[in-house]
Structure formats: structure tokens, C-alpha cells
Amino acid sequence: LAFSNFISDLKLETTKHVSWFDLKDSFSEYGVKTVGLLCEEIVASGKVAQDRYLAGFQQIPPVIPGLGPVDLKETKLSMRVGVDLARKIEAGAMPSLTQTLPSAAYSLGGLVDACHPTAAAVVVSIGQEATLIEKLEAEIALQISKIDS
């Protein structure tokens, strides 16, 4: 694994349903697709329980190669899910990322980059990371209550 040493040292924050991390500006020279690839590697490594949502933040670099600086103060959140959670999502027993993440991001003025049931990405302002996770947890709980009713 390309990220194996980094993954073994990575500290994950944990909420009821989500494990998450913030790269800040690490790996910025490789672009913001890195955080999604890293999420995939973390899920595959077994570092996160297979029944959890995994979220990773990476700040969007304020420079576009070949064009120069841009006034950006945004961070990208990429999400993946473990194998067990993916099965529950496909069975309708747990909420998908399409049911939870967009509304959490929109509530903070964010935007959706891509959103599929088990993989997604949104953009919010730097400093909103923990708040986005809180909003996401609330959306997950709301959707679980609908599934359970």
C-alpha cells in the first residue's frame, strides 16, 4: 500500500457513526483527489471498522498550477464506507451518503462535488470540519429513525 506508513500513524476522530481525519494541507502537491484515495486505502487496511462511515478532509490548495493563486479557503471532505456498512446501505438498512451528506454540506453553505451511495465528496469552508461532522451525524440519526419507523 502506498500510504501504509502514513495510515498506521494516522489518528482517527470518532463519533457515533463516523470515523474521520483532517489532512489539513498535507499532500497538497498531489491534489485533492488524494484524500479520497487515502480513504479507500484506510477502509481496505482495516484501520476503521467495516460498519462505519469514514470521512477525510483535505484543504484545497490556493494555487492552480499554470494559472497561479486563487482566493480559496475551502476544504474537501471525501467519504467512503466499510464493506459491512455498504451491504447495509444496499439493503436499505442504513442511510446512504446520498441521503445524508448533501443536506449536511448545504446547511453550511457548502457544495457537493460528487455523491454516490457509498462514496462522496463535498466542499465547505476551512474551520467548518467538526461542524460538518456534527451535521452529518444528525442527518444519519434522522435517516436511521426513518428506516426504523
Q: Please give, one letter per residue, the 3-state secondary structure of 6-27.
A: HHHHCCCEECCCEEEEECCCCC
pLDDT 10s digits, 33-72:
889 999 999 999 999 999 999 999 999 988 877 888 888 8
Domains of the chain: 4-148 (3.10.310.40)
Looking at residue 109, what is its pLDDT?
98
For residue 30, the 8-state DSSP code is G
Across all residues in the chain, what is the average pLDDT? Answer: 93
Kindly give the pairing relationship between strand 68-69 and strand 119-125: unpaired
Is this model's pTM higher than 0.85 or not?
yes
The Cα–Cα gap between 33 and 73 comes to 17
